[in-house]
């Protein structure tokens, strides 16, 4: 039971990060029917930006509290990632908005590779240690262990998801997003500016990705220029699992995928007689993707067209 409880905690933490990334995919898809495969690289830029700022602050302000350093680095990562995603949308995707769907898809893959290469040039290809800024003393819960960093991840994710749901359902921007998702031409006739709404959607997605990137780096303790590829791919799987274009589906898919992966990693060794170890946990995400695409292509919650923004 201790192992199961520990893996559930790990799965909730991992699923929280997947949910934040998946929301970026599903919001963009809900509005312009585009899978932004460069989204994982935005996460990577956020984590590396945070790592850089933390290094500078530790040199300039060696006595600063860890939580303050983390908060400042996170806010700067938000700004950098928001500017990056805004530029990507304006330069790479907007000119292709009325093109055949294959063109923006190839552009997204190319943008992903471009960002990886630029990050490798700027930050070098080696793995970098991400400092532990929050207290390292863990808490015991029924024989399982949870760290302050993991509690921070769970709490921040819950607050972020609540703010996003409020934004989408109860604000003027949220109504404009839902209107643009349903029919951008009619929304424009009603006074909505679709280009502005789409840019705002990319900016919100970038902020969520930057938050997930800093959480990912804090939890695993390393950053590197390819770190966003696999979480981005798994978060896309989570978005499809829950129902691409559906906000609730992205959250549900992320949490469930994190739980499946963590619990599978804890028991895959005994179940296979030691043939497979926990390092094979990545296969669960893609097994889930295959089953979902085969048995329920619309995902667990399906795609609610009028509310998919």
Q: Is the pLDDT of residue 187 over 60?
A: yes
CA dihedral over 112, 115, 116, 117, signed as positive or negative: positive
Whether pTM exceeds 0.95: no
What CA–CA distances, in Å, run from 191 to 81, 85, 194? 29, 25, 9
Per-residue pLDDT, averaged over 128-136, amounts to 90
For residue 83, how many other CB atoms are within 10 A of its CB?
12
The per-residue pLDDT for 140 is 87
Vertex 237 angle, CA 222 and 171, to 5°: 90
Output Rg (C-alpha) for the chain, integer angstroms.
19
Three-state DSSP at 99 gives coil
Confidence of residue 308 (pLDDT cuts 50, 70, 90): very low
Three-state DSSP at 223 gives strand
Q: Which fold has domain 1-295?
A: ABC transporter involved in vitamin B12 uptake, BtuC (1.10.3470)
The per-residue pLDDT for 309 is 41
Residues in the chain: 309
Per-residue pLDDT, averaged over 125-133, amounts to 92
Per-residue pLDDT, averaged over 145-161, amounts to 92
The per-residue pLDDT for 138 is 86
The per-residue pLDDT for 200 is 94
306: left (phi over 0), alpha (psi -120 to 50) or beta: alpha
Cα 41 from Cα 16, distance rounded (Å): 18
Three-state DSSP at 140 gives strand
Say if residues 239 and 249 touch (Cβ distance below 8 Å).
yes
| pLDDT tens-digit readout, 95-108 | 988 888 888 889 99
Q: Considering the chain, what is the average pLDDT of its residues?
A: 88
Nearest to 301 by CA among 260, 257, 252, 266: 252
The per-residue pLDDT for 1 is 67
- Residue spans of the domains in the chain: they are 1-295
What CA–CA distances, in Å, run from 37 to 49, 133, 176, 217, 243? 20, 31, 24, 20, 17
């Amino acid at each position: 039971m201790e192992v199961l409880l520990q893996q559930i905690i790990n799965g909730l933490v991992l699923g929280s990060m997947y949910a934040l990334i998946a929301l970026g995919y599903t919001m963009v898809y809900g509005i312009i029917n585009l899978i932004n495969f460069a989204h994982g690289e935005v996460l990577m830029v956020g984590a590396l930006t945070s790592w850089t700022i933390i290094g500078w602050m530790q040199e300039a302000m060696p006595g600063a509290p860890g939580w303050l350093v983390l908060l400042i680095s996170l806010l700067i990562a938000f700004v950098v990632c928001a500017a990056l995603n805004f530029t990507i949308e304006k330069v790479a995707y907007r000119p292709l908005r009325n093109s055949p769907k294959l063109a923006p898809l190839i552009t997204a893959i190319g943008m992903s590779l471009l960002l990886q290469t630029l990050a490798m040039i700027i930050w070098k290809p080696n793995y970098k240690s991400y400092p532990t800024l929050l207290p390292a003393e863990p808490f015991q819960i029924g024989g399982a262990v949870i760290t302050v960093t993991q509690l921070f991840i769970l709490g921040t994710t819950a607050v972020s998801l609540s703010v996003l749901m409020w934004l989408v359902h109860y604000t003027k921007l949220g109504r404009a997003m839902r209107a643009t998702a349903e029919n951008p031409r009619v929304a424009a006739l009603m006074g909505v500016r679709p280009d502005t709404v789409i840019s705002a959607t990319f900016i919100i997605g970038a902020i969520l990705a930057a938050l997930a990137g800093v959480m990912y780096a804090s939890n695993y303790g390393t950053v590197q220029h390819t770190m966003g590829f696999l979480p981005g791919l798994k978060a896309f799987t989570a978005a499809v699992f829950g129902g691409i274009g559906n906000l609730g589906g992205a959250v549900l898919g992320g949490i469930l995928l994190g739980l499946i992966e963590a619990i599978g990693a804890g028991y895959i060794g005994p179940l296979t007689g030691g043939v497979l170890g926990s390092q094979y946990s990545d296969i669960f995400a893609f097994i889930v993707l295959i089953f979902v695409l085969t048995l329920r292509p619309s995902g667990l919650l399906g795609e609610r067209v009028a509310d998919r923004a």
